[in-house]
Structure 1
């Protein structure tokens, strides 16, 4: 069964990816890894341990936020931003050389009144409830940042590269400014971006991924292609996450593809091959989650990537 994109103007490449996802649902899980530096040590670690590469690679856009307050930021923040610089080059290499699947995470530095890591609520005085009201300075700042990022995404659109776009991630929590005043406002922010990117900027290469398991926080089927959630189980706990899957798909009565947007210890791929819980992909988070044994042992990683149920880069067909 084909999956129809929520954007009627979606590119052929988006449709190709979604059709592929529909075919593999419950028949395999796409391996994924987040990165946020030029070094991409997480990918090298996976390849060193397993001899394989993930089929889906995540890249971080925090350093491309237009309103980073360099004067009022600590050393940790400045280092994180510096290490993230120029990582779009790696995203281009991934798509041009590897032809792998691509996703972006945007830890969006506050459009106004931010300091230090201002994607965190505690580091900004940005009034997000005013940002959804047309004509306010907050709304204008919100759109200005969106437009800035749209130009970065446009380059991928022009090259017809599909992107799994997961904006306002973890909107069920209050730790990021976009979720700081509850799911109702977070939903409106997402809809503002969807309309802006779909109708104004005509970004036809985006596959829209919602990232929250809250029923009352769901933004709506009309602007979502894939539902997802982030999970951080205890270190070395590997299951098929069946309970978490049932909680996620309960947010809508429509049959939606479902994915793991972020995870600490990887799911048990062997268990998934038996239970067939139809997680579409898993994305291990970066840094120690993806390049050490603190959360997943080398043996577990090896078993996962060599399981017949795992879809690694070498098993991925040409989709764009």
Structure 2
């Protein structure tokens, strides 16, 4: 009996130790970013000068600190009429604009080509979308765009078969090839309209087909082959740049959190087709965020050094910020010694779905304390 009790106590001790995230955090670690050189070749061989300048700007910024931002921080994350919608809450709390401002092309695939009862016509949607990006650019934010591509089979689920072979259908000769080309053409119309007040192209960190190692998107694991994913990625670059003359995009490869280097590189389309490395790591309230983030950032940092590429924590957050000290005790500990160029939290839609505190939220003061850390850079810090 005594032996059984001792064994039980030992197991409990091991469990507690393994779940103590601070065991993996080194408070003495220093942030010493390696010097990354501007590549001689980009994913788009005809990349314009503004996008090349953005890469150099990110190199310089990384030596200074970590550019901090959020997905759709200017009230554009929720297009539906709700009474508790959050707008401009980032600036209201931070007193500055984010260094990184994220946008998403998801709705571009749902816009009609002709009049209908849908909320926005395509041209009106593009005008609204580009106006928001131009405003963010004028406020000093670096622009990143993701694309939660809608399934041409409709709003199915991973378990009903509707995700199977959609990627194959997007490839040459596939049943959805025309849909895919048409959507890229729409995206190109939008991306080519990103021009500032001086007539200069607005450069974009473009993050398509992200979190491909998960099983929750139709381009994820189990719904296509690795080679089909790689071909889709390469086709996207080729069609946008060669067929539609889009030359303001730096391409960001960003899996969901991984367990190993090999998992990170499993779907990697090749050095010549990627400009920036990324990783998405969220806090799912399972007491593993800090450990997972530290390990993943270490994996990606090692790869980025080998490949002479910048890297970033491209998505993160704790939905509804249910831990009031999360920004200083979890996020800051995860990134403070990392050489990431930037970190981006997910969006705020309404008071029932958000990732940064709004005025009066219990975590507001902790968020401000996080933003005051020397390593954390906002828009005014990267000008």
Confirm or deny a common fold (TM above 0.5).
yes
Q: Secondary structure at the match of 2:102?
A: strand
| Whole-angstrom distance in 2 between the partners of 1:94 and 1:2 | 27
Q: Secondary structure at the match of 2:202?
A: coil
Q: Superposed, which structure 2 residues align to 1:32-43 within 5 Å?
A: 32-35=69-72, 36-37=77-78
User: Are the structure 2 counterparts of residues 260 and 119 from structure 1 closer, same or farther at C-alpha, using a change threshold of 3 Å?
Assistant: farther
How many angstroms does 1:58 deviate by? 0.8
Q: Secondary structure at the match of 2:253?
A: strand
Determine if contact 1:289/1:296 at 8 Å carries over to the other structure.
no
* Equivalent residue, structure 2, for 1:100: 141
Q: Unpaired runs of 5+ in structure 1?
A: 69-77
| Whole-angstrom distance in 1 between the partners of 2:193 and 2:161 | 31
Q: Secondary structure at the match of 1:37?
A: coil
1:139-191 deviations in Å (ceiling 9; x for gaps): 22222221221111111267400011000111111211122324432222111
Q: Which one of the candidate residues 350, 368, 373 is aligned to 1:302?
A: 368
The yes-or-no answer on 1:3 pairing with 2:7 is no
Q: Secondary structure at the match of 1:208?
A: strand
User: Are the structure 2 counterparts of residues 300 and 221 from structure 1 closer, same or farther at C-alpha, using a change threshold of 3 Å?
Assistant: farther
| Whole-angstrom distance in 1 between the partners of 2:308 and 2:244 | 29
How many angstroms does 1:26 deviate by? 4.8
* Equivalent residue, structure 1, for 2:244: 201
Q: Secondary structure at the match of 2:280?
A: strand
| Whole-angstrom distance in 1 between the partners of 2:90 and 2:57 | 24
Q: Which one of the candidate residues 211, 222, 238 is aligned to 1:170?
A: 211
| Whole-angstrom distance in 2 between the partners of 1:135 and 1:43 | 44
Determine if contact 1:32/1:57 at 8 Å carries over to the other structure.
yes
Determine if contact 1:104/1:166 at 8 Å carries over to the other structure.
yes
| Whole-angstrom distance in 2 between the partners of 1:250 and 1:122 | 38
* Equivalent residue, structure 2, for 1:220: 270
Q: Secondary structure at the match of 2:173?
A: coil
* Equivalent residue, structure 1, for 2:181: 143
Q: Alignment RMSD, CA only?
A: 3.4
Q: Which one of the candidate residues 52, 57, 75 is aligned to 1:20?
A: 57
Determine if contact 2:93/2:357 at 8 Å carries over to the other structure.
no
Q: So what's the TM-score if we normalise by structure 1?
A: 0.80
Q: Secondary structure at the match of 1:25?
A: helix
Determine if contact 1:104/1:165 at 8 Å carries over to the other structure.
yes
| Whole-angstrom distance in 2 between the partners of 1:94 and 1:122 | 39
| Whole-angstrom distance in 2 between the partners of 1:48 and 1:142 | 39
| Whole-angstrom distance in 2 between the partners of 1:251 and 1:43 | 38
How many angstroms does 1:33 deviate by? 0.4
User: Are the structure 2 counterparts of residues 302 and 270 from structure 1 closer, same or farther at C-alpha, using a change threshold of 3 Å?
Assistant: farther
Q: Unpaired runs of 5+ in structure 2?
A: 1-35, 113-117, 259-263, 319-326
Determine if contact 1:262/1:283 at 8 Å carries over to the other structure.
yes
How many angstroms does 1:299 deviate by? 3.0
Determine if contact 1:211/1:229 at 8 Å carries over to the other structure.
yes
User: Are the structure 2 counterparts of residues 218 and 234 from structure 1 closer, same or farther at C-alpha, using a change threshold of 3 Å?
Assistant: same
| Whole-angstrom distance in 1 between the partners of 2:66 and 2:87 | 18
Greater Rg by CA: 2
1:109-139 deviations in Å (ceiling 9; x for gaps): 12x321x3x6978584663253254223322
Q: Which one of the candidate residues 54, 64, 71 is aligned to 2:108?
A: 64
1:255-292 deviations in Å (ceiling 9; x for gaps): 2211111101456447744x2x1011111111334244
